[in-house]
Structure formats: structure tokens, C-alpha cells
Amino acid sequence: MSGSRRRPRRADPARSTAFRVLRAVTADGAYANLELARRRGDLGGQDAAFATELVAGTCRAMGGYDRVIESASGRALRTLQPAVVDVLRLGTHQLLGMRVPAHAAIATSVDLAALEVGERVTGLVNAVLRRVAERDWPGWLAELSSGEDELGRLALASHHPRWIVEAWSRVLPTAELEDALAADNVAPVPNLVVRPGLADRAELGGTPDRWSPFGAQRDGDPADVAAVVEGRAGVQDEGSQLVALALARAEAPGGPWLDVCAGPGGKSALLAGLAREAGTRLVASELQPHRAQLVAANLRAYGPPNQPVTIVADGTRPAWRAGTFARVLADVPCTGLGALRRRPESRWRRSPSDLPGLVGLQRRLLARAIEAAAPGGVIAYVTCSPHPEETAAVVADACGVTLLDAAAHLPEVPDAAAGNLVQLWPHRHGTDAMFLALLRRGGGPADR
């Protein structure tokens, strides 16, 4: 068709925004939720909701969609221009995961490709998506899972890499595995939390958290809540609140508290208020200066007495004397696989090869956290991952400590105990999959 007879291309603000967010995720390593929040401000309510579902759903199912695209195109993904792949991913989600009519999903994807990539790719996009539309998702699932074993079929059906499904199968009863994977695909309601001593939970509105006395679930923009704007409250998953609360409940000697890996500062803000109530102060340490600024912002509403302190320091090379702190939180860097419902792209971004480096760092940070504790002091080892190599295996090698019964410090939370450890799950608790171990440094009182 000549240029003079070509149908005019129509820009769609929601799809254009979704494409630019997805490009930032796949090309630049951006987090989808943060990039969406940054870019969707100019969209109206329906367009913003459409863009959010388009990005989140595409990121969640990307592994399966990539296999669909390869089958429909007859080409390996690496032979296609990356921007074209992202257009095809968004179109595939509209066809297989949303209630968008096929003609609309294909036509708008072709227009998007023309406007964002160039006219030369429109024929390819049109042809591939027409092939995709020949089957629904169950039909594609049946074709793609042919020859897979049970775990392989479950991985494909639940939109998870196989290695994650295998890891979950090691720590969950078989009857719960499918529910656990399904829970990763349900976006959570935003959860707010007060800074103890600075705000009352009633100011948050919404529905009070089930177990944390500080939080509430609330739809909408957190910036609409005055206490959040003023720094007297913030955004934090209930699971993160609970692990901080357990540390504060453990019997420990007097003295200051330490958060070893504080960024971005949600747990620090909760612990700072609890420390003030106990008559002491929190030192929040963060390696990265820009993340230390986020910690300071989260702590900004706390003043004297016992005002918390934020420092830039490497937790593996302590800037403090050994044996200084009564309570130490080591919320260590991890794969983040416990928060896949919030950051669905992480399941495709991480791989088993990430584990050795992370586990080595986790072991070093825990060792230094133990050294930072005073005799009888309590250390909370925390990850936002249920992967056994990042959790129980790290704790098992800790030296100079006694393992406390972490679940006994959260008696109100059912089905959280994993021996003397705590493992929360989205499908059981409606929280991120937070892991907690409580350790007492030698020389102090026994656990009660």
C-alpha cells in the first residue's frame, strides 16, 4: 500500500506509556511499579488502569509469552529487534491475558510499532500477532507444555521459571505449591504503616492489618494520606512490619539498636519508633549514598529525644565497635523472590547463577551483624525470599549464637513457623514471603 493510501496511525496514550515502561524494564533494568508510577501521571483513570494491567500482566507472563512469540514467528527472540519484541509481548498479553478483542489488540499493536519503532516492522508485528490470536492461552499452554514433566507444566501455567518452582517445592507441602505460585500473580492492595509515637493507625483509613498493630491496607494513592505526606507514616508490607516487631519483642539488654542494611528505610522507620518507646535510639546504616538519603527521608519526622541516626557505611566492614548494639537487624540483599507479586519482572530477571554471590554476601553480613551485637543481644536475620539457600542454610552456619524460637515472638500469626524460624507466604498470610531468624549472641540470657 502506498504512503498516500495508508491508514493514519493512531497514538494510544495508555499503550504508548505501557511500551515505554516495558522498554525501561527490559532494556534498562527498571522496576515496573516504580517506572509506572513515574510515567502514568498524565493518564486518566481508565487509561492508567489499562496501562498498569498491560505492564504488570506482560511482565508476569513474559517467559510464557516469549515462547508463544517464538512459536508464532518461527524465529528465536534474539533475532528480533528488542523494541519489536516488547510490542509483541504487549500485544500477546492483550490477546491471551486481557479481554481485548483480537482485531483491536492487533490493530493497536501495529500502530504502536509504527509510531515507536517504524513502519518497516508493521508487517512482521501484524503477521505474528495474527498467528498468536489463532489460539487462546489454554490452547498455547497445551502446545507448549507437550513433553514437559509435572513441574515444567506447572512452571509454564503459573508464569514462573522452573528453578523457582523447584525451590518452592523444597520448602512447601506439595498440596500448597500451586496456591503459592498463584498468589505471586495477584497484585497486593497497598499497605500503609504508621511511625510509632507519631501517628495513629486510624489516620491511615482502609482496613487494619490482621496482625500488625501499625498497618492498614488502603486502595488509592498513599500521597492522599496526610500522615504519609508528613513522614509520620509510610508504605510497608505487613510482613516487613512483623519481622521488625518480632525483633523488638525479643528480650535483650539495654542499649542502642542497629539496622545494618537499612535502605530504603521502611523497617528502619518502624524500628526507630519502637526504639524510642524503649528509651533508646536506632542507628540506620546503608552502603549506597542515594539509598541512605531514602532512609533519612523515612526517618525525617523523628526528632529528640533519641533521634535516629543515618550513616553511610559498609555492613561487611563495620563503622562501629563490636559488641555495641542490643538489637541488630540484618535485612540482607537477596533475590527478592518473596515479592514477586509486587515486582513480577524479577522472576525473569533473576537466575540460579545469582545465588552464590548473594549467599556469600549474606553470610558475611550476618557474621558482622553478630559481632555488632552486645553479649546477650539479639540479631534478626531477614530476607524477602523463601529460597532455602538464602534462608535456613545461611542461618545454619552462623557462629557464636543461639537460635531463638522466632515464631514464639509472633504468636498471633498462624502457620508461620518453620521449625524455630519464621517463613511468611502470600497464599497463607497475604504478605510478602518474608523470612526471619532470631539469634542471641553468646553471653546473655537464654530464650524464654
d(CA 164, CA 141) in angstroms, rounded, equals: 19
Which residue among the candidates 59, 261, 334, 384 is catalytic per the annotation?
Answer: 384
CA dist 267 to 28, 236, 413, Å?
28, 8, 19
3-state secondary structure of 231: coil
We report the CATH number of the domain holding residue 63 as 1.10.940.10
> What is the tally of helices (H) and strands (E) in the chain?
19, 13
Average pLDDT of adjacent 10-residue blocks, the chain of 448 residues: 62 95 96 90 88 96 98 97 98 97 97 96 98 98 95 97 97 97 95 97 97 96 95 98 98 98 97 97 97 97 96 97 98 97 95 98 98 98 98 97 98 97 98 98 56
Return the C-alpha cell found at 375: 553479649
Q: For residue 45, what pLDDT is reported?
A: 86
Instruction: Specify if 201 maps to a domain.
Output: no
Q: Do 273 and 313 fall into the same domain?
A: yes
Whole-number pLDDT of residue 44? 85
| Total number of domains in the chain | 3
Residue 219 CA to residue 207 CA, distance in Å, equals 10
User: What are the backbone angles phi and psi of residue 11, rounded to the nearest 5°?
Assistant: -80, 135
Q: Does the residue 150 lie in any domain?
A: yes
Query: Is residue 224 assigned to a domain?
Result: no
273 burial via Cβ count (<10 Å: 0-12, 13-18, 19+)? buried
Q: Where residue 436 sits, what CATH number does that domain have?
A: 3.40.50.150
96 lies in the same domain as 153: no
DSSP string across 67-131: HHHHHHHTS-GGGS-HHHHHHHHHHHHHHHTS---HHHHHHHHHHHHHHHT-GGGHHHHHHHHHH
Asked if 266 and 127 sit in the same domain, the reply is: no
**Cβ contacts of 189 within 8 Å, gap of 6 or more:** 217, 218, 219
Show which of 75, 106, 139 is a domain's final residue.
139
One domain for residues 316 and 366: yes
Dihedral angle, C-alpha 192, 195, 200, 206, nearest 10 °: 0
Domain of 45, in residue numbers = 13-139
Q: Do both 74 and 168 map to the same domain? A: no
**Rounded Cα gap, residues 177 and 158, in angstroms:** 10
Residue carrying the nine cell digits 538464602 = 390
What CA–CA distance (Å, rounded) separates 51 from 66?
A: 20
75 lies in the same domain as 171: no
SS3 for 374? strand
384 catalytic? Reply is yes
